Amino acid sequence: MLETSARLLRLLSLLQARRDWTSTELATRLDVTTRTIRNDIGRLRGLGYPVDARPGVAGGYRLGSGRALPPLLLDDDEAVAVAVGLRTAASGSIAGIEETSMRALAKLQQVLPPRLRHRVRAFQSYALTMPSRGSQVDPDVLTVIAGACRDHERLRFDYRAHSGAASRRSVEPYRLVNDRRRWYLVAWDVDRDDWRTFRVDRIEPRTPTGPRFTPRDLPPDPDITARVARGVGEATWRYRARVIVHAPASHVRGRLPIPVEVQPLGEDRCVFEPGSDHPEMLALYLGMLDADFTIVDSPELVDALRTLTRRYQRAIDTSQKTSG
């Protein structure tokens, strides 16, 4: 059995790691009785940690919010991660937290042991951050959305679409995705009965949040981010076309600058639907696939290819005359 001081630190670490714990779960983790857990919870409260209790046979505890922020328990890697995150946030895509991030970083560096301070300073000295080109997000909005994701609470908000159209949405929020320029919310749209991706800088939450919901099955996180990346790339395209490429699907995926769904049509053919703001731009990209292709029912793209072909041919003819 752990000594009381060590056990309190371990108990605090568990309460910080997860939102809700039952007395039995905590007792099992610490190899003590539920009575000891109750006594230790009282000790933590005496030290200023706001621990909320849930009554009943299956009663439990959660670390609540208090008037003052009590000390956090961080290991070496967590402390460095927090310092690096604060430094990155100072030039990131969240509005109004630049100065706050630097103040918090200065306080953290004062208490870091020398071995960790050296690691953080190395990052600050040699790592540069590109200025954010996307719209900045209100940190309070991010906090509300993240809390709703964590607590499985329905979220209601006013939303402004890319076209400027305004709507009111009711969703089950699941993930926040950041591509270093913008923040996106992946959620189940209750009214439309389907998955949707929303830009967070266009969301105006309506409080309070809605009732709790039973979480749906989610694909792995890498699949979610890939879907968001694909949707973001397609969302603003004004023109789309269906293209059959006479090459394996793996070849086409490797040549595309963003993730796009490519469907195999056998071992040496595939089909996909690329997009662009202009047919001429799409024609240029298709030329860089390094493979033969066929356009399906897209006369505008065929015309753009003819235009480019004539232009390239004139360039070839002119260049041959000049060199001759």
Q: What is the pLDDT of residues 300-322, one digit of tens each?
A: 999 999 999 999 999 998 888 77
How far apart CA 140 and CA 201 sit, in angstroms, is 11
pTM of the model: 0.52
Instruction: Tell me what the mean pLDDT of segment 226-252 comes to.
Output: 81
At residue 263, the 3 state secondary structure works out as strand
Which CATH number applies to 1-63: 1.25.60.10, 3.50.50.60, 3.40.50.300, 1.10.10.10?
A: 1.10.10.10
Angle of the 76-89 helix axis to the 98-111 helix axis, nearest 10:
150
- How far is residue 270 from each of residues 105, 250, 291, 323, measured CA to CA in Å? 51, 9, 11, 40
The chain-wide mean pLDDT, for the chain, equals 83
pLDDT band for 71, please (50, 70, 90 cuts): low
Which CATH number applies to 139-219: 1.10.8, 2.40.128, 2.30.30, 3.30.2310?
A: 2.30.30
Q: What is the pLDDT of residues 12-60, one digit of tens each?
A: 888 877 778 998 899 999 999 989 999 999 998 888 888 888 776 666 8
- Largest Cα separation within the chain, whole Å, is 96
Q: Which of 231, 214, 245 is nearest to 275 (CA)?
A: 231
User: What is the predicted pLDDT for the residue at 1?
Assistant: 47
- Domain 239-316, second-level architecture: 2-Layer Sandwich (3.30)
Residues, the chain: 324
Side chain identity, residue 163: S
